[in-house]
Chains A and B, each alone.
Chain A
Amino acid sequence: MTIISAPAGSGKTSLLRAWADRPGQSHRLAVVQVQRDQQDAQQFWLALLDAVRQASGTASRAEPPAATPDFNGQAMVDRVLSELADHRGRVILVIDDLHELNSPEALTQLTRLLTNLPPHMHAVLATRRDLRLRLHQLRLAGELAEIRAADLRFTERETRELLAASGIALSQAGAALLHQRTEGWAAGLRLAAISLADHPDPERFVAEFSGSNRTVAEYMIAEMLDCQPGDVHDLLLRTCLLDRVNGELADLLTGGSGSERILLGLEDANAFVVSLDPERTWFRYHHLFADLLRLELRRTLPEEVPALHRRAADWLIQHGQVVDAVRHTQAAGDWPEAARLLADHSFSLTLDGQAQTIQALVRAFPPGEDHPELALVRAGDDLVQGRLDEAAAHLAVAETYAETAPPDRRRRLRVAIASLKLSLARRRGHLASVVEQAKFLASPVTGRSDEDIALYSDLRAVALMNLGIIEAWSLGLPDAERHLQEGAVLAREIGRPYLEVGCLAQLGFASKIHPFAITQRRCREAIALADRYGWGAEPIVAPALMTLAGTMVWTGEFDEGELWLRRTAHALQTDSGPGIRLLVHIVSGMLEAGRGRHHEALEEFSAAEHLRSQLEGSHALASQVTGWMLATQARLGRPGEARAALAAVDDERAGSGEIRNARAVICLAEGDPAGALAAVQDVLDGTAPVIGYVTVVEAHLLAGLAHRELGDLRAANQAAERALALAEPDRLVLPFAMTGSRELLEALPRHETAHAALLTDILDVLHGASLTAKDQSSWPQTEELSPSELRVLRFLPTNLSRPEIASELSVSVNTVNTHIRNIYAKLQARDRSSAVQRARELRLLSAGLTR
């Protein structure tokens, strides 16, 4: 690693550029130019990731890195490191103007990146001052090279070479004098070279400069401006306030034309103006140069400065560069206007992942210039940071202000306030009260300006997402699915992939009524889209990860379910509302219970129950959480405790199927099978409300266990068979494991069940296996089995002989033999047991999932 640490104008950037452009290099460069006063960690890291991807040639492979409102610095560093690790060749990471990075968070992350760089990587950092990067280890290991001001200083010979290269004829003595006066300072020599190039008497110029006591920078900038033609002089002064400038903007600020030509000329002629893009349309001034010009502008044209800022702000807002427009409006001293601009755009900026930039802009308002509009901005920021009480307080201020605002303004503010309230309610899990508000937001807007429509589209997409989430999580309404689908479509239309991922990720959870196959497909789609944008480990996609984990646990694929569960926990590191954390505990509890670890399961269910009791509103899975907690207590031999807690359950939930099932488990633990049968009666006859059909499967199994206790084996077998029949389409395994139904199932004669394949799978799990759900595509190509072959295949795991199978299917034994031969060939199996094994791996044995 190399650090170039030297004052302004020492020639750091020029050194980097010359070094990067030198011929005959085999490595690739990733160059990051830190923006002036960069306080937004995410903007810095996105620029860095983009540069690395450009350099390693992976940029075209996926979507460009996009900002998210839930920036996770840790995950970002991992992403950059994995991009670098994937690249075989040598990559050199160059970060210029690193002193402009005013984000302690970003610097900490950068230290982690730098100390973990792969061996084929080299990093070069340029900065005006030594940074607080913790690089002692690198230094001690001799891995750190430093270039400092003394190394960059021009020698006398180099000074002569610079002058010669600029076509300046100066005597040896004159060059020595110039070198001595500038002390070899690169910026001073470069500025001198500009003035000397057209000077009639270079020797006199150097003599006068040498005789002056003025600072090199001030003397040289004045001389340089003096020797420029009027229009160039004018352009430099009037555009120096901008961080970047193009011809059109420069024309606007100078009131002239032909600015682009002047800018191109300046770039060709000196080192202080550089183009930012290969087409050379945008330019920036060297920071020291711009700072000196700004002083000169303020001294010579002070009355024009606010007007220049205003004109720049107007142009920038028209061209969608909101952040810069707000900065210039602030610089013009138009604080109320700046506050309005920021309030209008803070919502979209948050979606753009610029939350930290918004914070910096809010901080820039002086204490005396605070404005009620900023309350709205602060409320949005509070929500991003999870400070819900502060958000509510700021929203109250904004609401009071909105009442007094002019009518057109009032409408806008109300829409924004309503949207933030909805987000707040969602985060708090406090829901029903805001659904009306959400409906008003979710309705399409007509007859407004383009800007309004864009703003309202953002608001609408977010409102649809929040509405769908509330409906799905809290109220369990079927509308959820429709609203989330609408939200996803709108988000795609308006180019907000983050919201699209958000809506899709919730769809899996919202679509409880669909077969698991559809739910899983939706989850995988959401995850794939998130991965494309690099958001695979972000909170936004957590609901999809979670739901996918859940379906796998339901179907007995415990090992893979655990992997997805871990990925969910990783994604929830930065942000986790109580609703989703509750779900993580439920699925974790399901997993433990499925593996027969009831103590661990009880811990998870109790944690979920605790979160549920903290929620202000209801949770769609509330009765499930409580029911499983009570049932697990009872299974652990603590029915007394469970019964006491059961007595405390409120009447509404006490009537639910989930709580009735819990009551049955408690009765069984108390040795009261008749009581258990009575408890599940309403679940079995369909009169008790249930969250899903899985509750009914569970009830059948509990009834079966009770019949078994009572010695009625026939009724026990019937109950088990009903449970299997219900479980078949989704291939549910978990309820059998949770209820401890192994003996019940083992007592069921194989030839009496129509679900032999599922039964075998379930018994495998109950004996401690985890089913593997391999994607069929990941296996060697298998020729598809015909429907009649599939019908025969399903009998292979049973004890039925070939003639018995033939009689079951009402075909001849020869036909069965042919089918079995074909099955062996297609599955590349040698015998019946290997065919069954292979068929199980390929998930061909269940009636529900075959295609």
Chain B
Amino acid sequence: MQNHLGALNHGFMDPAPALYTIRINGHLGTTMLSAFPAMASQRQGAQTVLTGLLDRSALYGVLAEIEALGLDLVEVRQEPKEA
């Protein structure tokens, strides 16, 4: 999968962790949330928003976990860096 990594950021690899928000359909209970120990969670309507400071491999780890648990991924967003 490593070959995909470069492509996202126009071939530019940023080694520093960034703040990501990840939106998932449905409410995640304590069991599901235990799969994302590095992320804070917040319910918004019928969705759950996970927030956390992740580097690339951590991000793909989280995405793999979402895939493995059959969760419905809605959005992944990197928050702009604070000035």
- Of all chain B residues, which has the CB nearest A296? B31
Taken residue by residue from 277 to 311, chain A's Cβ proximity to chain B (1 for < 8 Å, 0 otherwise) reads as 00000000001100110011011000000000000
Q: Please provide the chain A residues from 755 to 812 with a CB less than 8 Å away from any CB of chain B in the complex.
A: none
Stretch at the interface among A211-219, A312-320, A401-409: A211-219
Q: For A212, what are the chain B residues with a Cβ–Cβ distance below 8 Å?
A: 27
A217 and B71 within 8 A (CB)? yes
Partner of B32, one of A7, A132, A213, A218: A218
Q: For A299, what are the chain B residues with a Cβ–Cβ distance below 8 Å?
A: 30-31, 34
Asked if B70 CB lies within 8 Å of chain A CBs, one says yes
B32 and A288 within 8 A (CB)? no
**Alpha-carbon separation in the docked complex, A185 to B69 (Å):** 13
A7 and B35 within 8 A (CB)? no
Partner of B31, one of A7, A129, A132, A218: A218
**Alpha-carbon separation in the docked complex, A215 to B23 (Å):** 13
**Alpha-carbon separation in the docked complex, A8 to B34 (Å):** 19
Asked if A85 CB lies within 8 Å of chain B CBs, one says no
**Alpha-carbon separation in the docked complex, A212 to B68 (Å):** 22
A295 and B67 within 8 A (CB)? no
Take A213-B46, A218-B32, A295-B34 as given contacts and tell me if A185 and B70 are in contact as well, using a CB distance cutoff of 8 Å: yes
**Alpha-carbon separation in the docked complex, A299 to B34 (Å):** 7
Q: For A295, what are the chain B residues with a Cβ–Cβ distance below 8 Å?
A: 31-32, 34-35, 69
A215 and B72 within 8 A (CB)? yes
- Of all chain B residues, which has the CB nearest A293? B31
B70 and A8 within 8 A (CB)? yes
B67 and A222 within 8 A (CB)? no
A215 and B25 within 8 A (CB)? yes
Partner of A187, one of B25, B26, B70, B72: B70
B25 and A132 within 8 A (CB)? no
Most A-side CB within 10 Å, residue of B25, B27, B70: B70
Q: Please provide the chain B residues from 8 to 51 with a CB less than 8 Å away from any CB of chain A in the complex.
A: 24-32, 34-35, 43, 46
Q: For B34, what are the chain A residues with a Cβ–Cβ distance below 8 Å?
A: 295, 298-299
Asked if A426 CB lies within 8 Å of chain B CBs, one says no
A222 and B31 within 8 A (CB)? yes
Q: Please provide the chain A residues from 195 to 222 with a CB less than 8 Å away from any CB of chain B in the complex.
A: 212-219, 221-222
**Alpha-carbon separation in the docked complex, A221 to B46 (Å):** 19
Partner of A216, one of B3, B26, B68: B26
Q: For B28, what are the chain A residues with a Cβ–Cβ distance below 8 Å?
A: 214-215, 218
B27 and A214 within 8 A (CB)? yes
Q: For A218, what are the chain B residues with a Cβ–Cβ distance below 8 Å?
A: 26, 28-29, 31-32
A9 and B3 within 8 A (CB)? no
Partner of A7, one of B25, B26, B30, B67: B67
A287 and B35 within 8 A (CB)? no
**Alpha-carbon separation in the docked complex, A219 to B30 (Å):** 11
- Of all chain A residues, which has the CB nearest B71? A215
A292 and B26 within 8 A (CB)? no
Taken residue by residue from 732 to 763, chain A's Cβ proximity to chain B (1 for < 8 Å, 0 otherwise) reads as 00000000000000000000000000000000
Q: Smallest CB–CB gap between B34 and chain A, Å? A: 5
Q: Smallest CB–CB gap between A233 and chain B, Å? A: 14
Q: For B26, what are the chain A residues with a Cβ–Cβ distance below 8 Å?
A: 213-216, 218
Q: For A9, what are the chain B residues with a Cβ–Cβ distance below 8 Å?
A: 70
B67 and A291 within 8 A (CB)? no
B68 and A288 within 8 A (CB)? yes
- Of all chain A residues, which has the CB nearest B4? A132
Most A-side CB within 10 Å, residue of B3, B27, B31, B72: B31
B29 and A214 within 8 A (CB)? yes
Q: For A222, what are the chain B residues with a Cβ–Cβ distance below 8 Å?
A: 29, 31
**Alpha-carbon separation in the docked complex, A9 to B69 (Å):** 9
Q: Please provide the chain A residues from 490 to 540 with a CB less than 8 Å away from any CB of chain B in the complex.
A: none
Asked if A460 CB lies within 8 Å of chain B CBs, one says no
Asked if A128 CB lies within 8 Å of chain B CBs, one says yes
Partner of A217, one of B43, B46, B67, B69: B69
B68 and A291 within 8 A (CB)? yes
Q: Smallest CB–CB gap between B8 and chain A, Å? A: 15
- Of all chain A residues, which has the CB nearest B24? A215
Partner of A132, one of B3, B35, B46, B68: B3
- Of all chain B residues, which has the CB nearest A217? B70
**Alpha-carbon separation in the docked complex, A661 to B69 (Å):** 76
Q: Smallest CB–CB gap between A301 and chain B, Å? A: 12
**Alpha-carbon separation in the docked complex, A9 to B32 (Å):** 16
A128 and B67 within 8 A (CB)? yes
Taken residue by residue from 61 to 81, chain B's Cβ proximity to chain A (1 for < 8 Å, 0 otherwise) reads as 000000111111000000000
Q: For A214, what are the chain B residues with a Cβ–Cβ distance below 8 Å?
A: 26-29
**Alpha-carbon separation in the docked complex, A212 to B27 (Å):** 9
**Alpha-carbon separation in the docked complex, A221 to B43 (Å):** 21
Q: Smallest CB–CB gap between A101 and chain B, Å? A: 12
**Alpha-carbon separation in the docked complex, A287 to B70 (Å):** 10
Q: For B32, what are the chain A residues with a Cβ–Cβ distance below 8 Å?
A: 215, 217-218, 295
Q: For B67, what are the chain A residues with a Cβ–Cβ distance below 8 Å?
A: 7-8, 128-129
- Of all chain A residues, which has the CB nearest B25? A215
**Alpha-carbon separation in the docked complex, A128 to B28 (Å):** 22
- Of all chain B residues, which has the CB nearest A128? B67
**Alpha-carbon separation in the docked complex, A214 to B67 (Å):** 17
Q: Smallest CB–CB gap between A292 and chain B, Å? A: 7
Q: Smallest CB–CB gap between B12 and chain A, Å? A: 21
Q: Smallest CB–CB gap between B13 and chain A, Å? A: 19
Q: For A288, what are the chain B residues with a Cβ–Cβ distance below 8 Å?
A: 68-70
- Of all chain B residues, which has the CB nearest A213? B27
**Alpha-carbon separation in the docked complex, A217 to B33 (Å):** 13
**Alpha-carbon separation in the docked complex, A128 to B46 (Å):** 25
**Alpha-carbon separation in the docked complex, A213 to B45 (Å):** 9
**Alpha-carbon separation in the docked complex, A185 to B72 (Å):** 11
Q: For B71, what are the chain A residues with a Cβ–Cβ distance below 8 Å?
A: 215, 217
**Alpha-carbon separation in the docked complex, A8 to B68 (Å):** 6
**Alpha-carbon separation in the docked complex, A215 to B36 (Å):** 15
Known: A215-B24, A299-B30. 16 other contacts (CB 8 A): A7-B67, A8-B68, A185-B70, A213-B26, A213-B27, A213-B43, A214-B27, A215-B25, A215-B26, A215-B28, A216-B26, A218-B31, A218-B32, A288-B70, A295-B32, A298-B34
Question: What are 13 A-B residue pairs whose CB atoms fall within 8 Å in the complex?
Answer: A8-B67, A128-B67, A213-B46, A214-B27, A215-B25, A215-B32, A215-B71, A215-B72, A218-B29, A288-B69, A295-B32, A296-B31, A299-B30
Closest 9 CB pairs of A and B: A215-B26, A8-B70, A213-B27, A9-B70, A218-B32, A214-B27, A213-B46, A295-B31, A217-B70
